[in-house]
A = this chain, B = another copy of it.
């Protein structure tokens, strides 16, 4: 309880109590095979009795392994990043690693550099960067760092190893769903230009329309926030009755704003305009109306990222198929089909 007690016991202390050498204690802790059962028991008892814990710094110094990974991210209060963070942490811990996180307000080159410095000082063996913006990856590619880095969510620009959800597929699912429901065309409210995900969703949307022989309308731009969706929604409302019957919105939060703007403009969803979002945040199911959206599997993203990073750290050939994006799924709700 009292952390100010004299200094914590060392391996030598345990060894003394157990009547063995410190090396034997180390062997027991390391699950070495060649330790007599009785000795092991004696050592374990001594460890228990003294409440001994290995000193991680000394261990790290001797082994040259800190068993710590770093994660750099921005916007960690948003559902997507928060979920990814969670999955990463889970996967890393399962692999016996500790995770140090640096949450930034913005992924500018300078802050990124400071973050890597901070993690580097902390002795991480590798870093996962949740860098959805292209500029962030570019900055990352220019930065020197003494450990491998894996990027999550910024396509495979090939400069840096990465793990991704197939955003284009997600957009194709969304757009295709609307076309299949009989809509002649599908409008798109996109995310910020600099975001890879936003770009990929635009591409997926555009190609789906083109494949169907439809000229894509000019996409609108938002910044992921409900407010920007609201503003775009007001603009979209003006096109109702002039060919706009379906909108694919690049994320659920903006879709929420769009829904509100349409409702205020007297436009009914889905009767007048069908809406599809992206992310499947927990709230989406209870929007007015419940939102059809695209769900990403963050747990898988986390597992793959950690696996890839560990491969790089160990110097093995990456075990997962490289460049394979994780498949998202369409979740159909009332915003595209009256129930």
Contact = CB atoms under 8 A, between A and B. Distances in A.
Interface in A300-322: 313, 315
Given A121-B53, A123-B55, A226 B283 contact: yes
A90 B66 CA distance: 23
Contacts of A227: 285-286
Interface in A245-298: 253, 256-257, 259-260, 263, 281-283, 285-288
A122 B144 contact: no
Contacts of A82: 76-77, 82
Interface in A1-37: 1, 3-4, 8
Give the interface size bracket for A toward B. Answer: 35 or more
B89 A56 contact: no
Contacts of A86: 76-77, 103
A283 B253 contact: yes
A286 B226 contact: yes
Given A61-B58, A76-B85, A283 B286 contact: no
Contacts of A285: 226-227
A66 B57 contact: yes
B123 A3 contact: no
Contacts of A225: 282
A177 interface: no
A7 to B, nearest CB: 8
A189 interface: no
A338 interface: no
Contacts of A148: 3
Interface in A140-197: 144-148
A312 to B, nearest CB: 8
A42 interface: no
A85 B57 CA distance: 25
Closest 4 CB pairs of A and B: A57-B60, A56-B123, A226-B286, A98-B122
Given A90-B103, A98-B100, 13 more contacts: A3-B147, A3-B148, A51-B146, A55-B123, A76-B85, A86-B103, A99-B100, A226-B283, A226-B285, A226-B286, A253-B282, A253-B283, A260-B286
